[in-house]
């Protein structure tokens, strides 16, 4: 069975669905390439906050679990 490979994008504009990006360099760095931010038009401030909170909660649960062992 052959495995399908994807080539790396030539530039950042090909990562955005539908054509070239109108974002400047700093905006692109801030927004990143998380598809959810772009697909659902979620403000990065909200998305990153939720993302970090999720990992902190997960890590705290893991630490508590290991400490109780």
User: DSSP letters along 27-47, please?
Assistant: HHHHHTT-HHHHHTT--HHHH
Give a yes or no: residue 3 inside a domain. Answer: no
The pLDDT of residue 17 is: 58
Give a yes or no: residue 6 inside a domain. Answer: no
pLDDT above 70: residue 66: yes
pTM: 0.46
Give a yes or no: residue 38 inside a domain. Answer: yes
Q: How many domains does the chain have?
A: 1
Residues of the chain above pLDDT 70, percent = 65
Give a yes or no: residue 24 inside a domain. Answer: yes
Give a yes or no: residue 57 inside a domain. Answer: yes
Task: State which residues form the domain around 53.
Answer: 12-67
Give a yes or no: residue 58 inside a domain. Answer: yes
Question: Nearest Cα to 54, choosing from 69, 36, 39?
Answer: 36
Mean predicted confidence (pLDDT) in 20-25: 68
Give a yes or no: residue 7 inside a domain. Answer: no
Handedness of CA 51, 54, 58, 61 (dihedral sign): positive
What's the rounded Cα separation, in Å, for the pair 57 and 55? 5
């Amino acid at each position: 069975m052959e495995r399908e490979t994807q080539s790396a994008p030539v530039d950042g504009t090909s990562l955005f669905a539908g054509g070239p990006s109108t974002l400047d360099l700093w905006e692109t760095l801030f927004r990143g390439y998380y598809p959810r931010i772009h697909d659902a038009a979620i403000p990065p401030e909200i998305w990153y906050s939720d993302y970090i909170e999720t990992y902190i909660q997960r890590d705290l649960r893991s630490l508590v679990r290991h400490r109780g062992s």
